Amino acid sequence: MHPFRYNRAQTVEDALQSFGKEPNAAFLAGGTSQLDLMKEDVLRPGALIDIKRVPLSAIMATKDGGLRLGANASNTAVAYHEQVQKRYVGLAEAILAGASPQIRNMASTGGNLLQRTRCPYYRDTTQACNKREPGTGCAALEGINRVHAVFGANEKCIATHPSDMCVALAALNAVVQVQKPKGGTRSIPFADFHRLPGDEPQRDTVLEPGELITSVDLPAFTGRSHYLKVRERASYAYALVSVAIALEMDGDTIKAARIALGSVAHKPWMATDAAKELVGKKPDAALFRAAAEKAFEDAKPLQHNAYKIPLGKNTLVRALMETSGLMPLQGTAGTAFASSAGGVAGDDIEG
Ligand SMILES: Cc1cc2nc3c(=O)[nH]c(=O)nc-3n(C[C@H](O)[C@H](O)[C@H](O)COP(=O)(O)OP(=O)(O)OC[C@H]3O[C@@H](n4cnc5c(N)ncnc54)[C@H](O)[C@@H]3O)c2cc1C
C-alpha cells in the first residue's frame, strides 16, 4: 500500500479544512470501498480525512414531508429506519440486496454513492484503464465485457456503476446535499449526480475536489416503490441487471412513474420515455412489455453482454408487475440468474 497521512475530523468545517491542506486527499467514511482499493494499489491518496466522527449520521424528517439521510448514516440504519420501511420500500429492498450485514453496518450513505466500479480491469493494475489511469486505454473493450454497459458507454470506458442503493435513490428522485470547500452548499438532483464517461471516465460524479456530501434527501412520496436485482447467485453478488420503480396511483390508474435501471450504464440509467408510456393508463402486462421494449430500444450490446437486453426487459416487466400488484412479490429483492454463457469476467462480482 502506498504511504499516506491520516487526519480524523470532528466537524464538517474541520473535514473541509483538513482536505484543503493536503495536495491529494480523500475522505474516509466506512472505508469498505476506499481501503480495499488502496490495498490493491488502485487508489493512492496522499492523505485520508476520516469523517466517521463528523456528526452526519442523523435520519430525520424534512419540512416538506420527506426524509433526510445523513451522509454518515450506515446502510443498515437507512434500510431498517421505520420511515424507509414504510414509505420508501424500494430503497430498503435495494440496500438489503447488496453486500453483507457486516459491510452494510460499516458502509455509509455518502460512501455508497461514491463507491467505484467493479469492472475487473479497473481493479487490475496490470491492465489498461482510463478510469484508473487516464490515457492508458480500456482493456475491457477487447476483453471479457460480460458485466459492462449497454447504455451511454464509449471507447474510453464501458464500466457500470455498481451500487444497488443508488438505483433506488434515482427512482425516488432523491437530492444530494453538498458542502462546498470554500463555503456555501449546493443541491444536486440524483439523476444528475453521476456522470457518463465522456472524455473524463476517471470522474464518476459531478462532485468537485473537496466537496463533502452532507446528506441525501428523499422527497415526500406516498406511492409504491420496489427494487428487483438479478445476479449470478442469490446473495452476496453484484447485480447483472437491476430495476427500481416508483409508481404513484390515482385509483387504478398510474398517475406518475419513474424507472431506474442498474448495472447497465456508468450511472443509474433513467428510463424516462418508458416511464412516460405508463402515465394515465391502468397496470397491464402488455403495457409493461411495451414499456420494457421502449426502455431498451437504444441499448448497444458489446461482444459478451447482449444477454443484458432481454434480461433487463424481463426484469423490468416483472418489477412493474410486482410494484403494481399484478404479480405477488417473490419475497426477495434479488434473483439469481442461471446463465448459459459461463462465468463473469474476473472474480470480482461478489456484492
Ligand atoms: C465485499 C463487498 C461486497 C459489496 N457488495 C455490494 C453490493 O452488492 N451492492 C452494492 O451496492 N454495494 C456493494 N458493496 C459496496 C459497498 O456498498 C460500498 O463499499 C459502501 O457503500 C461504501 O461506503 P463506505 O462508507 O465504506 O465508503 P468509503 O470506502 O469510506 O468511501 C468510498 C468513497 O466515498 C468517498 N466519501 C465517503 N463519504 C463521503 C462524503 N460524505 N462526501 C464525499 N465523499 C465521501 C470516499 O472518499 C471514497 O472515495 C460491497 C462492498 C464490499 C467490500
Question: How would you write 203-220 as a 3-class SS string?
Answer: CCECCCCCCEEEEEEECC
- Asked whether 74 lines ligand 1 (CB < 6 A), one says no
Ligand 1: which atom is nearest the Cα of residue 166? 11
CA of 277 to the centre of ligand 1 (A): 35
| Amino acid 77: pLDDT | 98
Domains observed in the chain: 1-54 (3.30.43.10), 224-336 (3.30.390.50)
Residue 329 — very low, low, confident or very high, per pLDDT cuts 50/70/90? confident
Residue 301 reports pLDDT greater than 70: yes
- Asked whether 110 lines ligand 1 (CB < 6 A), one says yes
Residues contacting 160, CB < 8 A, separation 6+? 117, 118, 119, 147, 148, 149, 263, 264, 265, 266
Residue 345 reports pLDDT greater than 80: no
39, 48, 91, 112, best to mutate for ligand 1 pocket (most atoms within 8 Å of CB): 112
Residue 168 reports pLDDT greater than 50: yes
105, 108, 263, best to mutate for ligand 1 pocket (most atoms within 8 Å of CB): 108
The arithmetic mean of pLDDT across residues 29-44, rounded, is 98
For the chain, the average pLDDT equals 94
- Asked whether 79 lines ligand 1 (CB < 6 A), one says no
pLDDT tens digits along 201-226: 999 999 999 999 999 999 999 999 99
The share of the chain scoring above pLDDT 70, in percent, equals: 94
Per the model's pLDDT, the better-predicted residue between 348 and 137 turns out to be 137
| Amino acid 1: pLDDT | 86
CA of 214 to the centre of ligand 1 (A): 15
- Asked whether 40 lines ligand 1 (CB < 6 A), one says no
- Asked whether 263 lines ligand 1 (CB < 6 A), one says no
The share of the chain scoring above pLDDT 90, in percent, equals: 92
CA of 7 to the centre of ligand 1 (A): 19
CA of 112 to the centre of ligand 1 (A): 4
Query: Whose CA is closest to 329, among 252, 245, 209?
Result: 245
Ligand 1: which atom is nearest the Cα of residue 213? 42
| Amino acid 341: pLDDT | 33
CA distance 213 to 315: 32
Question: With 0-12 CB in 10 A as exposed, 13-18 as middle and 19+ as buried, what is 21?
Answer: exposed
* Residue whose CA lies nearest to ligand 1 atom number 1: 351
- Asked whether 273 lines ligand 1 (CB < 6 A), one says no
4, 6, 8, 34, best to mutate for ligand 1 pocket (most atoms within 8 Å of CB): 34
Rg (CA), the chain: 20
CA distance 297 to 275: 13
CA of 253 to the centre of ligand 1 (A): 38
Residues contacting 269, CB < 8 A, separation 6+? 151, 152, 260, 261, 262
Helices 308-324, 285-295: crossing angle, 10 deg rounding: 140
CA of 165 to the centre of ligand 1 (A): 11
Phi, psi at residue 160, to the nearest 5°? -110, 160
CA of 319 to the centre of ligand 1 (A): 26
* Residue whose CA lies nearest to ligand 1 atom number 19: 33
Residue 234 — very low, low, confident or very high, per pLDDT cuts 50/70/90? confident
Residue 346 — very low, low, confident or very high, per pLDDT cuts 50/70/90? very low
Residue 350 reports pLDDT greater than 60: no
User: 270-275: which pairs have CB atoms within 8 A and are 24 or more residues apart?
Assistant: 270/170, 270/191, 271/295, 271/316, 274/316
| Amino acid 344: pLDDT | 35
State the sign of the Cα–Cα–Cα–Cα dihedral 77, 82, 87, 93.
Answer: positive
Per the model's pLDDT, the better-predicted residue between 104 and 235 turns out to be 104
pTM of the model: 0.95
